[in-house]
Structure 1
Amino acid sequence: MAALAWLLIPLVAAVCAGLWGSWANRTRKARGDGPELDGYARFREAMERKSSSHT
């Protein structure tokens, strides 16, 4: 019985790894880059204003 338990441990680990791998590689809805790009544009504008006031 102990030998069976030692054989089941890697089997259960492989099944869990397969399930996690399929979950991790699932296709997600594309949210788009809108909010991130808007924030970056605001950051660039702020940095340009700050650097132009120093010169």
Structure 2
Amino acid sequence: MAALAWLLIPLLAAVGAGLWGGWAGRHRKTAGDGTELAGYTRFREAMEKSHSGT
């Protein structure tokens, strides 16, 4: 019975690793780069305005 327990430990570890790998590699839905690019554009415009008077 003890040998069976020692064989189940790597089996359970492999199943756990497979589940974790599947969860970590899933395709996530992202909002896209549109909001980040819009924020960068606003930042760049604000920086150009603050230096244009110099």
- TM-score range normalised by the length of the shorter chain: 0.5 to 0.7
Matched pairs, number = 54
Corresponding residue for 2:38? 38
Q: TM-score, normalised by structure 1?
A: 0.66
Q: Which runs of 4+ in 1 moved over 4 A?
A: none
> What percentage of residue pairs aligned between the two structures are identical?
74
Structure 1 residue ranges without an equivalent (≥5): none
- Alignment gaps of 5+ in structure 2: none
**Structure-to-structure mapping, 1:6-25, within 5 angstroms:** 6-25=6-25
TM-score between both structures, scaled by the size of structure 2: 0.66
